[in-house]
């Protein structure tokens, strides 16, 4: 359309601001949209469905590839979300592929953690479910887990080790990645302790701890239950406390995700790429490097994650706290006060569009 052509002319006015949306507790609770999120997001698109305002989802959640999450969100919100617009806790794991490309790594968490890692380019990755299934008796409690006994990694149905190009039982795990919220905490803590204290092979003598990465460090998150649920940060505390009791040197690990300043730097870079693509002004890379936002709004529900992170990231970040998730306070949060407190994401978008357009 003419409108589209106009938009794609070099030099066309681009909005000088961008928006990063938290998902859990702002856009969704469980799988249900909240706070008028579908209407709010729709306002960021033109009538013909093209993106008008650059925005991303910046979530500490995950467990599925960005492309799949984009499709899910498109369905739930009724707009076209591109995979580039989905930045999950584990998205930065992509940057570690060079180091681990051909090394055996284990991926932990709900959903499809191994598929996520394979899509990033990791070639020898097993989910902890599959990995554990190769070691007889590694989990003395498995027989009591009626819910897990019919899993895909049932001995009779799992891929034979001989079909793999490597030997799971004798190959050292060179890295452990907690991709999404772990499902079977007891088994996962046991197997991770086995891997980490043996130097990569459960049951072996002690060795140097392989690197351990967490997609995020949320102590709690909102989800669908009336009060908060324990998140990846709670799992990290459990693992760390136990590991430090049974091992002479303390657990070493790196956590990604908000409130880590790296998450906000990366979000800004992704938003710049979206601007270049949307307004298609020639050389994408140069455009992306040059583009400077006047403001990037972080709309989140968790003061110690979303607001702390955005405030720490500083210019051009502006923090907006909703009351639809972890935060329910009457006034602003005392320890991590947001630049603006609103009831819902819909109210946040109303404020932003009135101010900016
Ligand atoms: O498991 C997801 C949760 O830890 C946080 O999600 O979207 O609020 O960053 P989000
Ligand atoms: Mg949240």
Q: Is the pLDDT of residue 2 over 50?
A: no
Residues with CB under 5 A from ligand 2 (ion): 22, 24-25, 301-302
- Edge-first strand order for the sheet with 86-87 is 86-87, 55-58, 17-21, 295-300, 317-321, 340-341
pTM attached to this predicted model: 0.92
Q: pLDDT band at residue 166, thresholds of 50, 70 and 90?
A: confident
For the chain, the average pLDDT equals 92
Classify 200 in phi/psi space as left (phi over 0), alpha (psi -120 to 50) or beta.
Answer: left
Counting ligand 1 atoms within 8 A of each CB, the residue from 33, 60, 72 with the most, and so the one to mutate, is: 60
Burial class (CB within 10 angstroms; exposed 0-12, middle 13-18, buried 19+) of 47: exposed
Ligand nearest to the CA of 235: 1
Spatial separation of the C-alpha atoms in residues 311 and 308, rounded to whole Å: 5
Identify whether the C-beta of residue 43 lies closer than 8 Å to the C-beta of residue 340: no
Q: Which residues fall within 8 angstroms of residue 5, CB to CB, at 6 or more apart?
A: none
**Mutational pocket test of ligand 1: of 37, 72, 230, 231, the residue with most ligand atoms within 8 Å of the beta carbon:** 231
Q: For residue 177, how far is its CA from the centre of ligand 2 (angstroms)?
A: 21
23 CA from centroid of ligand 1 (Å): 7
Q: Residue 171 above 60 pLDDT? A: yes
Render pLDDT for 42-96 as a digit per residue (tens, 0 to 9).
999 999 999 999 999 999 999 999 999 999 999 999 999 999 999 999 999 999 9
Average of pLDDT values for 231-248? 98
Q: What ligand 1 atom has the least distance to the C-alpha of 25?
A: 8
Supply the pLDDT for residue 161. Answer: 59
ipTM of model: 0.98
Query: Tell me: the pLDDT tens digits for 93-122?
Result: 999 999 998 999 999 999 999 999 999 999
Rounded CA-CA distance 73/174 in Å is 34
CA distance 222 to 234: 14
CA distance 298 to 20: 5
Computed over its alpha carbons, how large is the radius of gyration of the chain?
Answer: 22
Give me ligand 2 centre to Cα 221, in Å. Answer: 6
Q: pLDDT higher for 229 or 292? A: 229
SS (H, E, C) 45-113: ECCCCCECCCEEEECCCCCCCHHHHHHHHHHHHCCCCCHHHEECCCHHHHHHHHHHCCCEEEEECCCCH
**What 3 state SS string does 208-226 have?**
CCCCEEECCCCCEECCCCC
Task: Please tell me the predicted confidence (pLDDT) of residue 165.
Answer: 74
What is the position in ligand 1's atom list of the atom closest to the CA of 216? Answer: 4
The number of C-alpha atoms within 13 Å of 244 and in the hemisphere containing its C-beta is 10
Kindly tell me if the per-residue pLDDT of 10 is higher than 50.
Answer: no
Q: Given pLDDT bands bounded at 50, 70 and 90, which one contains residue 315? A: very high
340, containing H or E segment: strand 340-341
* pLDDT at 136 > cutoff 70: yes
Task: Supply the pLDDT for residue 3.
Answer: 43
pLDDT of res. 159:
56
State the Cα–Cα distance between residues 262 and 249, nearest whole angstrom: 27
Taking CA atoms, 92 is separated from 62, 66, 228, 316, in Å, by 12, 12, 26, 21
Q: How far, in Å, from the CA of 162 to the mean position of ligand 1?
A: 38
Q: What share of the chain is helix, strand, coil (3-state, %, to 5)?
A: 40, 15, 45
- Side-chain half-sphere CA neighbours of 65 within 13 A: 13
Structure tokens at 254: 């790196």
* Ligand 1 environment, Cβ below 6 A: 22-25, 59-61, 181, 216, 218, 221, 231
- Please, which pLDDT band fits residue 291 given cuts at 50, 70 and 90? confident
DSSP strand E in 118-243: where?
124-127, 175-178, 212-214, 220-221, 229-230
Distance between CA 220 and CA 332 in Å, rounded?
A: 19
- Closest ligand 1 atom, CA of 27? 7
User: How do strand 28-29 and strand 32-33 relate by DSSP bridges?
Assistant: antiparallel
Distance 24 CA to ligand 2 centre (A): 4
């Amino acid at each position: 359309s003419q409108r589209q052509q106009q938009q794609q002319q070099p030099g066309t006015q681009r909005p000088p601001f961008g928006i990063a949306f938290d998902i859990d507790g702002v856009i969704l609770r469980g799988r249900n949209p909240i706070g008028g999120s579908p209407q709010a997001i729709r306002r960021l698109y033109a009538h013909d469905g093209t993106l008008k305002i650059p925005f991303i989802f910046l979530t500490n959640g995950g467990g599925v590839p960005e492309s799949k999450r984009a499709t899910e969100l498109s369905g739930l919100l009724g707009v076209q979300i591109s995979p580039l617009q989905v930045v999950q806790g584990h998205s930065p794991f992509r940057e570690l592929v060079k180091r681990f490309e051909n090394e055996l790594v284990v991926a932990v968490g709900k959903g499809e953690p191994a598929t996520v890692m394979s899509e990033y380019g990791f070639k020898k990755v097993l989910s902890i479910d599959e990995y554990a299934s190769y070691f007889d008796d590694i989990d003395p409690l498995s027989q009591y887990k009626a819910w897990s006994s019919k899993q895909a990694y049932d001995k009779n149905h799992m891929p034979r080790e001989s079909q793999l190009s490597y030997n799971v039982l004798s190959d050292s795990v060179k890295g452990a990645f907690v991709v999404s919220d772990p499902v079977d905490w007891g088994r996962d803590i046991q197997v991770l302790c086995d891997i980490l204290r043996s130097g990569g092979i459960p049951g072996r003598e002690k060795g140097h701890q392989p690197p351990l990465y967490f997609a995020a460090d949320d102590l709690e998150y909102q989800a669908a239950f009336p009060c908060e649920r324990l998140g990846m940060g709670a799992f990290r505390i459990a693992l760390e406390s136990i590991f430090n009791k049974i091992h002479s040197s303390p657990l070493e690990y790196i956590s990604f995700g908000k409130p880590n300043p790296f998450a906000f730097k990366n979000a800004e870079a992704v938003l710049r790429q979206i601007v270049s693509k949307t307004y298609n002004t020639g050389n994408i890379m140069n455009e992306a490097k040059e583009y400077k936002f006047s403001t990037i709004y972080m709309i989140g529900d968790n003061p110690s994650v979303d607001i702390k992170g955005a405030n720490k990231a500083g210019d051009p970040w502006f923090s907006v706290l909703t009351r639809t998730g972890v935060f329910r306070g009457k006034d602003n949060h005392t320890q991590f006060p947001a630049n603006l407190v609103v009831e819902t994401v819909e109210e946040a978008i109303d404020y932003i569009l009135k101010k900016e357009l």
